[in-house]
Amino acid sequence: MGSYAGQDSFGDKCLLRCVVEQIHETFGPDVRAVVDVQENRREAKRVVPEAEFSLAISHVCAHWVNRLRRPHVPALLQMVLVCLTLPLWLVMTAANRSALSRAIQEVRTCSCLYLYGGTQLSEQWFTLNFPPLLLMLILCRVFGKPVFLGPQQYGPERPWQRVCLRWAVKWLVTDIRARNPNCVQMLSLPEAKLCYDEVFSCAARYPIRPVHVRRRTFVLINMRASNFIQDTTDADFRAFASILRALYKRLRLPYNLFQMSGSSFCDDRRLKSFLDREGFDDLPVELVPQLDQEQDFIELAALAYGTVSMSFHGCVLSMIGGCPSVPVTSETYYGYKYVDFDRYTGGQNVPIVSLVGSNGKRAAESIAGYFERYQPARTAAAREIAASQINQWYHEIRDQSRNGPYSDGSEDLNQHEIIGHRN
């Protein structure tokens, strides 16, 4: 289970591709990867042809959660109602019973359950994604299958959400990693459980570039149209635009606006519309067509002088291409996302630009200074560490799936890996 639910999210597609790549690298190419999605199974198959996709538990649970949203009860009460009534909903119709039967069959025949991500258990996604995860954890316990929660961002969470997740991790999860030190602390994990993001770590799919020479060509920019709690406000767009204007005066380089999501998920073109509408004609901004393959974006980043991005994976993919990335935050969710981002740069003191109370000229100076002093080799060294950590993690998953506390000791892993969903 994981971040990609069939929606048009470039970062989630990259994550899924990296997870499947690592599974096949570690377990062998014949191991089946079965991904639980909520929508658009045909498109999902195009995204990762080597995986199988199932509209099962996540799809059924999402429908039920959406039905229970209609009374507009508090989130905690809604979670209680979902968990108490979900078993009844799963046997209510023939289609639901069929989905439950498929899920049970997948768990019975799988090697392990792997939850990757993403931010699908952070505050705004928790009510949607925790109930199907909990059901799968219980099924895995019933059938003696190990469960692994991969490195992702688990917070920020409300206190009751944190209690639910910590209970599940303590009693139903075989092993876990987190990509954020705040999450390690929140879940009371040892420091050894801290890893990097799986896209950043996947040297098997994205080779490490120890040497890269940048030219003063253009600057890549991205701003999300939503923080997934509320739409981005005109004030946020205006703050971002003022930073871009000051940075253009400092660097005199044009901007290429890239998209990390399609309009059906999060329309990243809205920044261009705002700039055109609000009198920022002095800024040369070109809209990059939406890209389908991350290798195309990495090659684009290899040509850029720097990146200023609100997208975590936009920053990560830019650095994989050898380009320095400055994250942009807005409110608690994005602030939490970038709390440890300097570790990804190899400790180069990357500025984290907040749109709340920002000063455009000051922010532009810090961004330009970082671009000038950036050393790609230090990020490449961080990726070497990340790749070593993720390879070790997947080998531990393989070994525990064969010989762990719920295993029968069989060496035959030509079964399932159940992977994915988040809306």
pLDDT at 2: 86
DSSP three-state, residue 221 = strand
- At 191-242, the pLDDT tens digits run 999 999 999 999 999 999 989 999 999 999 999 887 666 678 889 999 999 9
Q: Write out pLDDT tens, residues 91-148.
A: 999 999 999 999 999 999 999 999 998 899 998 889 989 999 999 999 999 999 999 9
Q: Looking at the whole model, is its pTM more than 0.85?
A: yes
Long-range pairs, 280-284, Cβ under 8 A, ≥24:
280/241, 280/244, 280/245, 282/245, 282/248, 283/241, 283/244, 283/245, 283/248, 283/255, 284/248, 284/254, 284/255
Q: Taking each helix axis from N to C terminus, what angle separates 159-172 and 126-142, rounded to the nearest 10 degrees?
A: 20
DSSP 286-346: EEPPPPS-HHHHHHHHHH-SEEEES-HHHHHHHHHTT--EEEEE-HHHHHHHTTTGGGGGT
Provide the residue type at 190 as one letter.
P
d(CA 2, CA 17): 12
Q: What is the pLDDT of residue 15?
A: 95
Domain ranges in the chain with CATH number 3.40.50.2000: 219-376
**Residue 111 parent element (H or E):** strand 110-115
Q: Is the pLDDT of residue 27 over 70?
A: yes
CATH topology of domain 219-376: Rossmann fold (3.40.50)
What single letter denotes the amino acid at residue 327?
Answer: P
* Tally of CA atoms within 13 A in the half-sphere of 119 that contains its CB: 21
Q: Provide the pLDDT for residue 229.
A: 64
In angstroms, rounded to a whole number, what is the distance separating the alpha carbons of residues 259 and 290? 6
Contact 406, 144 (CB under 8 A): yes
Q: What is the pLDDT of residue 272?
A: 92
Using alpha carbons only, how large is the chain's radius of gyration in Å?
Answer: 22
Tell me what the mean pLDDT of segment 323-341 comes to: 89
Buried b (16+ CB within 10 A) or exposed e, 163-181: ebbbebbeebbbbbbbbbe
Kindly list the distances between the CA atom of residue 412 and the CA atoms of 32, 146, 416, in Å, as whole numbers in the listed order. Answer: 12, 15, 11
Q: Which residue has the higher pLDDT, 349 or 3?
A: 349
Q: Is the pLDDT of residue 3 over 90?
A: no
- Report the length, in residues, of the chain: 423
Residue 404: the pLDDT is 52
